[in-house]
Amino acid sequence: MMNNRTIQKFGYARVSSKDQNLARQITALTEVGIEKDFIYTDKWSGKNFDRPSYKRLMDDMHEMDELYIKSIDRLGRNYDEILEQWRYVTKVKKVNIIVLDFPLLDTRHSSGGVTGEFIADLVLQILSYVAQVKRENIHQRQMEGIREARRRGVQLGRPRIPIPDEFHAVSDMVRKNKMSLREGAKVLGVSHTTLKKWIKEQQSAEKQRII
């Protein structure tokens, strides 16, 4: 049974890594009236729902409160995960969700007897279906391309980028938090994902030597 407590507006902002910036999302949330004390932030991968601030947010929200996010992918990395969290927030917590970049995803309002929650659920289901079909089509084209390439005798896979001589010095600074991953990547002239992969391989090799 609902009491007369004031509906609280919450905001949630997330980026996937520590060297990314939350400012754009936080600005968008404050512009729609979310107080900074009620904006929860994580620098955490979308694949993990054990994010510290997200867990606190779930504990702090109550029925009929409102959760604002800049874009739908702040909830998760794919539509299966997004749907799971959407259902939990709206059905279990009974909290309204408002997606600033996608006005149809707003569970607060009704129109012509149709609830905003129903419209948002329907839109999400459609987006999830379209994303799934897209993934399947991409996979099918990839497999067809691989089969055709093999038929022609093409050697598959990109040649490995040679590791620069400066890698060990840069890796040491990144691992000691004296340089960000992106800064180190710029020094070496590679992408930050390549540098991250090299450092993981280096750490794995070190562990094997210890064993």
CATH number, domain containing residue 99: 3.40.50.1390
C-alpha distances in Å from residue 176, one per residue of 49, 76, 173, 195: 27, 30, 5, 15
Domain contains 177: yes
Q: Are residues 172 and 104 in the same domain?
A: no
Last residue of a domain, one of 128, 156, 187: 128
Where b means 16+ CB within 10 Å and e means fewer, 42-60 reads bbbebeebebebbeebbee
71 in a structural domain: yes
User: pTM surpassing 0.75?
Assistant: no
Residue 51 has what DSSP assignment?
A: -
The boundaries of the domain holding residue 29 are 9-128
In a domain, 159, yes or no: no
Residue 162 lies in a domain: no
Q: How far apart are CA 37 and CA 35, in angstroms?
A: 5
In a domain? residue 150: no
Looking at the structure, tell me whether residues 124 and 40 fall in a common domain. yes
Residue 160 domain flag: no
- Is position 89 within any domain? yes
Predicted pLDDT at 158: 64
If asked whether residues 179 and 111 sit together in one domain, one would say no
Block mean pLDDT (10 aa), the chain, length 211: 78 87 94 96 73 92 96 82 89 94 87 82 83 78 80 68 86 89 88 91 79 51
Let me know if residue 118 belongs to a domain.
yes
Which pLDDT score is estimated for 198?
92
Q: Which residues contact 154 (CB under 8 A, 6 or more apart)?
A: none
Task: Judge if 106 and 205 occupy the same domain.
Answer: no
Domain count, the chain: 2
